[in-house]
Amino acid sequence: MKNLPVFLMGCGGVGRQLLQHIVSCRSLHAKQGLHLRVVGVCDSKSLVVVADVLTSEFDDSFLLEVCRVKSNGSSLQTLANSGVCQVFSGPEVIRKVIDIGLLGKSTGLAFVDCSASAETIGVLNQVVDFGCCVVLANKKPLTVPMEDYEKLVSQPHRLRHESTIGAGLPVIASLNRIISSGDPVYRIIGSLSGTLGYVMSEVEDGKLFSQVVNAAKSLGYTEPDPRDDLGGMDVARKALILARLLGRRLNLDNMKIESLYPEEMGPDVMPLEDFLVNGLPLLDQKIEDRIKQASANGNVLRYVCLIDDARCEVGIQQVPNDSALGRLRGSDNVVEIYSRCYEKQPLVIQGAGAGNDTTAAGVLADILDIQDLFP
């Protein structure tokens, strides 16, 4: 039985779902000769870790208790009296995490970042230097300035980040296979936001933009403040990750990012309730006019990322209504990859591109994918 030690950063929806997947897949992994040994879990404020990272692990009942505690909104520090872990908080957390990475230098250790923080990049770069492996659902470490990015990806065989694009969809694996074969990729276009995909397909059916956004919020499709989705930054980060895989030396500030609301309706200017009730309806006519114009051209509107030799941008584009993007409905993601081999008919990858369950399953698959790097 091969033992693979895992350290989890981030106990939000994806992190908790990952722990539950690890527990529920024990018998399956045992048949594959693999055991995932969770040695530590941290969030932005606290850390729980086993007494001996090299030999110990949290049992499944404790992992499920971590999930219960965090689901209730409580602190990991409430687990201090469990008798099975050491607890650290405040400035001690980062120092201890780096110490754990140093311990993994000789035995191997997988650091799994399921947080949504940009602050993890410093720790991740250090543990990569120690020879540890890194698995990411968090996009932000891959969209930092190029200098930090290049440190993180300096040992690509020790890095997996499939779930940063399209949850569990095999976008990055497919793209890497094409690149490795020497087949030049010259264009990528994709709808990489389930939220914006849903919004654009609904307004295409004749619904008002303001009504669709409010409905999406009530269904839980958007962030608590829908402007976090409508601003396009999440799609921009995904586009930047793909562009960098193609060798483009870009930063976020080099990209054209179209926001679906004007600056005067931004979070720093207009309160959320005012935006939902009074701001959104002011945007209806502009969106409706763009839909009519696209329809007259035999096209539909989609909020997409577009990457080619000259551009890396995100925003509303007209696409043929008979294309994979044009046929897209609901909250699915779809990516079209054009290369020498996929010139006339692109490689199309489509499916559920969001959700804690799907994303966590993609992270777990990435962890299993690095098992051959461990003794």
Summarize the annotated binding site as residue ranges.
Answer: 10-15, 139, 223
Burial environment of residue 94 by CB neighbours within 10 A (0 to 12, 13 to 18, 19 or more): middle
- Of 31, 70, 96, 238, which residue is the catalytic one? 238
- Known binding-site residues for NADP(+) equal 10-15
Question: How many angstroms separate the CA atoms of 96 and 331, rounded?
Answer: 40
| The token pair that represents 239 in the structure block | 């586009």
Residue 238 known to be catalytic: yes
First-to-last CA distance in the chain? Answer: 11
Q: Where do we find the tokens 């996929």?
A: 342
H helix or E strand, kind and range, residue 49: strand 46-49
Nearest-angstrom CA–CA distance, 175 and 27: 32
Q: In whole angstroms, what is the distance from residue 338 CA to residue 346 CA?
A: 5
Residue 341 zone, left/alpha/beta (φ > 0; ψ -120 to 50; rest): alpha
Query: What residue numbers does the annotated binding site for NADPH cover?
Result: 139
Lateral strand order in the sheet of 133-136: 86-89, 46-49, 34-42, 2-9, 110-113, 133-136, 159-160
Residues in binding site for L-homoserine: 223
**What is the residue type of 95?**
R
Q: Between β-strands 185-191 and 2-9, what pairing exists: parallel, antiparallel or unpaired?
A: unpaired
Residues 6+ apart with CB under 8 A from 163: 14, 136, 137, 359, 360, 362, 363, 366
Distance of CA 250 to the CA centre of its chain: 19
Among residues 127, 126, 63, 12, the alpha carbon closest in space to that of 363 is found at 12
Helix (H, G, I), strand (E, B) or coil at 316: strand
Main-chain dihedrals φ then ψ at residue 243, nearest 5 degrees: -60, -40
Look-up of token digits 């980040």: 161
Structure token pair of residue 254: 């080099």
Determine the Cα–Cα distance for residues 364 and 27; give it in Å rounded to an integer: 15
Positions marked catalytic: 238
